[in-house]
Amino acid sequence: MTLFSSHKLSLVALTCIGLLHPNAAASLHPQIPSVASFVNSGAPGFVLSTSTQVAVDSAFQSSGSPSLMSYAQTFRDDLISMTGFTVPEVKSLSMEDSASPSTIFMTLGATNHSYFNGEATEEGYDFTISSQSYIIKGSGANGAWWGTRTLLQQAAMSSVGSGSNGSITIPAGSGSDTPGWEIRGFMIDAARHWFEPSFLADMCIYASFFKLNSLHLHASDNLWDQNLISGPDWRELYSAFRFQPSEGSPIAGIILLPNETWSKENFTVLQSTCSAHGVAIIPEIDTPGHSLAITKWKPELMIPNTPDSLNLSHPDTIPTIKALWDEVLPWFSASEVSIGADEYDPALADAYISFVNEMSTYISSKSGKSIRAWGTNEPSSTASISKNVTIQHWDFPDSSVPVQLMQRGYRVINSEQQFLYLDGKTSDKGQFPVELDQALMWGGAPDGGGWAPNIFTRHDPHNNTDPSNPLLRGSIMAIWNDWGNNATTPLEIYYQLARSLAVFAEKVWAGSGVRETALTQDQFNSVYATLNAAAPGQNLNRAVPPQPNNVVFQYPTVAEPQTSAFDSVGPPYTLTFTIKPSNATEISVPLLDGTSMRVPYDGGVIFAGRDSKLHVQSLAFEDPATGIRYPLPYALPADEYTTVAIHATRSYTYAEIGGSVHWWTTDLDIWGEYMKPANMSFAAPSHFIRAEGFSGELHNVSLVLG
Ligand SMILES: *[C@@H]1O[C@H](CO)[C@@H](O)[C@H](O)[C@H]1NC(C)=O
Ligand SMILES: *[C@@H]1O[C@H](CO)[C@@H](O)[C@H](O)[C@H]1NC(C)=O
Ligand SMILES: *[C@@H]1O[C@H](CO)[C@@H](O)[C@H](O)[C@H]1NC(C)=O
Ligand SMILES: *[C@@H]1O[C@H](CO)[C@@H](O)[C@H](O)[C@H]1NC(C)=O
Ligand SMILES: *[C@@H]1O[C@H](CO)[C@@H](O)[C@H](O)[C@H]1NC(C)=O
Ligand SMILES: *[C@@H]1O[C@H](CO)[C@@H](O)[C@H](O)[C@H]1NC(C)=O
Ligand SMILES: *[C@@H]1O[C@H](CO)[C@@H](O)[C@H](O)[C@H]1NC(C)=O
Ligand SMILES: *[C@@H]1O[C@H](CO)[C@@H](O)[C@H](O)[C@H]1NC(C)=O
Ligand SMILES: *[C@@H]1O[C@H](CO)[C@@H](O)[C@H](O)[C@H]1NC(C)=O
Ligand SMILES: *[C@@H]1O[C@H](CO)[C@@H](O)[C@H](O)[C@H]1NC(C)=O
Ligand SMILES: *[C@@H]1O[C@H](CO)[C@@H](O)[C@H](O)[C@H]1NC(C)=O
């Protein structure tokens, strides 16, 4: 194997030469999130090469869940994919034998690791780097896992400009690192938008590279449209409950679109992929508001004329909600779940509070899990929510002014919308940015310092708290999908999250103004692109290895269906072709028995790939994840040659045809109040060329990066 046989690191090398100082051994490179402390030994560094091996301490290999051994195996896969080196199977060695040459050794036993609130944590690690070995000692298996992310990030940064002599050198020294907060998560609204489990799994893997440890999965909800919901056609409003009940389940009736549900098996695979990467899934079933999926099934449970709100006083309401949890609680491996419980009529506060407390007791007795609820304005002079419930603050003003909640003894998670909310594609009137606002993240605190989980507002220091507040558990940023399935492709959601998760990860790990080693905005900007491109285990960028002249493929004539080596190619790209669709009204389709059948001709599909298809009819792009088509206001003439050049970036896709430009757009239905046109970004459908049911000629096909 030669160095950079992996395309990822070679992309890094090509794009980032000159960014960093050439002497890679000088110090640890900045990385995301920053490492709490590191002292350079000045000795020769650790060389990652084809002779590197990964070993775990035999005394601890089964410790943790996932175990140290399991984490080491996942790490080995990442190391292979990032470097292209052939790394042998993970070995189990005693501490004494760990001093073999070129060994990455994972062990446990690091002490004195605690979050900023003083609580001891298993997520810390110490590490010692010498020319002989790279030793990672976790305070728990999770800590050792985060230590492997540090190694990989240093490898990615060290390979920048390291030449091509077959090795990557990581500077020698020793360090210690601990996250500031226990909860470092991101929420995806997977209720108003359907996502395949494989996409969510890739998001976990990506987030894990930046040491985020939880995915909050908002899994039941509905779109909002005041007229529709209060009128006779309320059933037409999109709603979903994503967990597919088992056959014959008492809750089977809640599923209206079985093709948009996760089976238990699908979910379990997703959950274990996330967990193997140190990321816990916190599922949310949102009631008693946001409950249209339930009232479409049991209309008698709604508050009259308010179909998304459940009547908690109806004798069947709470048993129905409990039945939902009964079905799915056994699926979940995390120690906590979210019952949602936001935006419910404050006039019904006593019923609301009693409900939240009943669910806390019920879920705890059924599963041993504790619950979270969104901060909600539910004032009562007689009742209060149990302190066993963690409150996830998102909005001022409400009864959950977070500092007051903590003063009263509640544990709090910061999801304040002013800092941490995004909406798929765009928000109503620009209320939220497309990506987390970097100016706010680096300078949005009242004193001009950066945001951190202890900062709830930029305006009033009294509403913020200290990083050491024992009741502040951490933070979860959120991307909502208020405009539903047709607002975005899944990859567009990744584009909004990619950089957002990285900056958020720095802030929830290191805080702002706590550690001298925390990143500056300039340092973050100087390393983000390299680390994003190097993140292993997924390819959400849909990057391809460097191609001569940036040409992915080029064919003078495509007379028969054919395939390329790439199932999808991420933007930016230009896809060009000359096409002459036949004017046929019927075409012949081959059948399995060797005969064929005449079917009406709709133009067929010219290109298809993992993330998109391009139809002849209206040159519509299709998103295979949702089946939605996005047509152009344009029709290709039959029986004529037309040359089409498709240009795409992460923000838009347009076609240039005979000097005219046509944009692929969607129409966002903003709360049923107005329609807002928005651009669509599509990855190139690069796998099948002349894909399905096309009749006519196809020439001069090329896909060029950039
Ligand atoms: C543990 O950490 C604290 C705070 O960082 C420090 O003051 C203390 O000296 C450390 N103790 C040991 C035994 O390292
Ligand atoms: C590899 O190249 C780097 C940078 O050019 C150099 O510092 C290092 O000494 C070389 N290593 C070997 C083993 O030749
Ligand atoms: C769900 O799991 C089944 C069985 O493993 C698999 O065939 C199917 O593709 C999965 N569905 C999704 C959406 O991942
Ligand atoms: C809720 O249900 C109860 C019991 O069926 C009923 O008495 C009450 O009127 C309902 N509340 C509303 C607001 O409809
Ligand atoms: C809180 O949880 C503890 C432990 O599960 C339990 O003993 C206690 O009764 C709960 N308190 C309330 C108010 O629910
Ligand atoms: C905190 O936030 C609340 C709600 O916005 C506001 O009313 C109050 O003035 C703020 N300041 C303090 C000190 O609570
Ligand atoms: C299709 O094109 C052929 C050749 O140009 C022509 O003979 C035929 O009439 C056309 N058929 C239709 C339905 O337009
Ligand atoms: C699921 O089926 C419905 C109804 O047939 C359809 O409208 C929807 O597009 C399908 N969803 C997906 C993800 O294919
Ligand atoms: C997208 O879906 C909304 C309903 O949520 C609908 O009103 C709108 O017309 C759709 N947009 C397009 C371009 O189909
Ligand atoms: C699509 O993007 C282009 C280029 O940025 C912009 O000029 C145009 O206004 C956008 N269209 C919509 C509907 O936002
Ligand atoms: C394909 O490109 C070649 C070279 O530019 C050109 O001569 C030829 O006419 C093109 N073919 C079509 C069908 O446009």
Residue-averaged pLDDT of the chain: 94
- Specify the DSSP class assigned to residue 248: T
CA-closest residue to ligand 4 atom 4: 314
Q: Considering every ligand atom, which ligand is closest to the CA of 653?
A: 10
Residue 342 CB less than 6 A away from ligand 9: no
Residue 162 CB less than 6 A away from ligand 2: yes
Ligand 7 pocket test target in 582, 583, 587 with most atoms within 8 Å of CB: 583
- From 177, 195, 213, the end of a domain falls on 177
Residue 363 counted as domain residue: yes
The beta strands (E) that lie in 360-471 are given as 370-374, 390-393, 412-414, 421-423
> What is the pLDDT, as a whole number, of residue 11?
32
CA-closest residue to ligand 7 atom 12: 583
Residue 397 CB less than 6 A away from ligand 6: yes
Write phi, then psi, for 687 (nearest 5 degrees).
Answer: -85, -50
The secondary structure of 324-385, three-state, reads HHHHHHHHCCCCEEEEECCCCCHHHHHHHHHHHHHHHHHHHHHHCCEEEEECCCCCCCCCCC
Q: How many domains does the chain have?
A: 3
pTM over 0.75: yes
State what percent of residues in the chain have pLDDT above 90. Answer: 90
CA of 645 to the centre of ligand 11 (A): 14
CA of 154 to the centre of ligand 2 (A): 16
Q: What DSSP assignment string belongs to 251-273?
A: TGGG-S-GGGSB-HHHHHHHHHH
* CATH assignment of the domain containing 633: 2.60.120
Residue 637 CB less than 6 A away from ligand 7: no
Q: Around Cβ 44, how many Cβ atoms within 10 Å?
A: 13
> What is the pLDDT, as a whole number, of residue 654?
98
Across the range 523-536, mean pLDDT stands at: 98
Residue-wise pLDDT for 572-600, tens only, equals 999 999 999 999 998 888 888 989 989 88
Which atom of ligand 11 has the smallest separation from the CA of 700? 1
CA of 494 to the centre of ligand 9 (A): 21
Question: Whole-angstrom Cα distance, residue 519 to residue 507?
Answer: 9
Ligand 8 pocket test target in 195, 242, 257 with most atoms within 8 Å of CB: 257
Residue 253 CB less than 6 A away from ligand 2: no
Q: Considering every ligand atom, which ligand is closest to the CA of 45?
A: 2
Q: Can you say whether the dihedral through the CA atoms of 133, 40, 169, 36 is positive or negative? A: positive
The beta strands (E) that lie in 120-213 are given as 125-129, 133-138, 168-170, 173-177, 183-189
Question: Whole-angstrom Cα distance, residue 398 to residue 400?
Answer: 5
Q: Any residues with Cβ below 6 Å from ligand 4, and which?
A: 303-304, 311, 313-314
Q: How confident is the model at residue 355 (pLDDT cuts 50, 70, 90)?
A: very high
Q: Are 334 and 284 in contact (CB under 8 A)?
A: no
Residue 165 CB less than 6 A away from ligand 2: yes
Cα separation values, 699 from 174, 347, 641, 690, Å: 59, 67, 9, 10
Q: Considering every ligand atom, which ligand is closest to the CA of 695?
A: 7
* CATH assignment of the domain containing 160: 3.30.379.10
Residue 460 CB less than 6 A away from ligand 6: yes
Residue-wise pLDDT for 33-42, tens only, equals 999 999 999 9
Q: Are 104 and 151 in contact (CB under 8 A)?
A: yes
Which atom of ligand 9 has the smallest separation from the CA of 630? 13
CA of 311 to the centre of ligand 4 (A): 6
Q: Which of 241, 237, 184 is nearest to 214 (CA)?
A: 184
Residue-wise pLDDT for 364-411, tens only, equals 999 999 999 999 999 999 999 999 999 999 999 766 799 999 999 999
- From 475, 508, 534, the end of a domain falls on 534
Residues 171, 187 share a domain: no
Ligand 9 pocket test target in 667, 670, 673, 674 with most atoms within 8 Å of CB: 667
> What is the pLDDT, as a whole number, of residue 26?
52
Q: Which of 525, 185, 614, 125 is nearest to 372 (CA)?
A: 185
Question: Whole-angstrom Cα distance, residue 152 to residue 267?
Answer: 28
Specify burial of residue 232 (Cβ count, 10 A radius: 0-12, 13-18, 19+). exposed
CA 655-656-659 angle, 5° bins: 155
Q: Considering every ligand atom, which ligand is closest to the CA of 159?
A: 2
Ligand 9 pocket test target in 194, 669, 674, 675 with most atoms within 8 Å of CB: 669
Q: Any residues with Cβ below 6 Å from ligand 11, and which?
A: 578, 641, 699-700
Across the range 123-144, mean pLDDT stands at: 97
> Of how many residues is the chain composed?
706
CA-closest residue to ligand 3 atom 2: 266
Residues 333, 313 share a domain: yes
Residues 292, 166 share a domain: no
Residue 484 CB less than 6 A away from ligand 9: yes
Residue 542 counted as domain residue: no
Residues 575, 512 share a domain: no
Residue 5 CB less than 6 A away from ligand 3: no
> What is the pLDDT, as a whole number, of residue 2?
30
Residues 172, 187 share a domain: no
CA of 486 to the centre of ligand 9 (A): 6
Ligand 10 pocket test target in 663, 675, 676, 682 with most atoms within 8 Å of CB: 663
Residue 671 CB less than 6 A away from ligand 10: no
CA of 197 to the centre of ligand 9 (A): 24
Q: Considering every ligand atom, which ligand is closest to the CA of 335?
A: 5
Q: Are 648 and 681 in contact (CB under 8 A)?
A: yes
CA of 568 to the centre of ligand 9 (A): 26
CA-closest residue to ligand 3 atom 1: 266
CA 225-229-235 angle, 5° bins: 115
CA of 47 to the centre of ligand 8 (A): 52
Residue 409 counted as domain residue: yes
Task: Report cis status (omega within 30 of 0) of the bond before 288.
Answer: yes
Residue 541 counted as domain residue: no
Tell me the catalytic residues. 343
Query: CB within 8 A of 694, min separation 6: which ones?
Result: 581, 603, 604, 605, 606, 616
- The continuous run of DSSP H or E covering 692 comes out as strand 688-692
- The continuous run of DSSP H or E covering 581 comes out as strand 573-581
CA of 565 to the centre of ligand 4 (A): 61
Question: Whole-angstrom Cα distance, residue 383 to residue 351?
Answer: 9
Question: Whole-angstrom Cα distance, residue 669 to residue 575?
Answer: 30
Residues 162, 253 share a domain: no
Across the range 94-111, mean pLDDT stands at: 92
Q: Any residues with Cβ below 6 Å from ligand 8, and which?
A: 194, 257, 259-260, 626-627
> What is the pLDDT, as a whole number, of residue 166?
61
Query: CB within 8 A of 195, min separation 6: which ones?
Result: 188, 490, 493, 625
* CATH assignment of the domain containing 528: 3.20.20.80
Residue 586 counted as domain residue: yes
Residue 26 counted as domain residue: yes
Residues 301, 159 share a domain: no
| Domain range enclosing 446 | 183-534
Q: Which of 157, 169, 155 is nearest to 83 (CA)?
A: 155
CA-closest residue to ligand 9 atom 9: 667
> What is the pLDDT, as a whole number, of residue 399?
66
Residue 43 counted as domain residue: yes
Residues 137, 24 share a domain: yes
Residue 485 CB less than 6 A away from ligand 9: no
Question: Whole-angstrom Cα distance, residue 581 to residue 695?
Answer: 6
CA of 651 to the centre of ligand 7 (A): 40
Statement: residue 78 has pLDDT above 60: yes
The residue type at 201:
A
Residues 113, 49 share a domain: yes
- From 111, 144, 177, the end of a domain falls on 177
Q: Which of 94-98, 525-529, 610-614 has the lowest mean pLDDT?
A: 94-98
Question: Whole-angstrom Cα distance, residue 283 to residue 219?
Answer: 7
Residue 305 CB less than 6 A away from ligand 7: no
Across the range 521-536, mean pLDDT stands at: 98
CA of 670 to the centre of ligand 9 (A): 10
Q: Are 405 and 415 in contact (CB under 8 A)?
A: no
Q: Are 453 and 472 in contact (CB under 8 A)?
A: yes
Residues 447, 510 share a domain: yes
Residue-wise pLDDT for 208-235, tens only, equals 999 999 999 999 999 999 999 999 999 9
Across the range 434-459, mean pLDDT stands at: 97
Residues 211, 168 share a domain: no
Residue 133 counted as domain residue: yes
The secondary structure of 105-146, three-state, reads EEEECCCCCECCCCCECCCCEEEEECCCEEEEEECCHHHHHH
Residue-wise pLDDT for 138-192, tens only, equals 999 999 999 999 999 999 998 865 545 567 899 999 999 999 999 999 999 999 9
Residues 191, 173 share a domain: no
3 state SS of 226? helix
Statement: residue 21 has pLDDT above 60: no
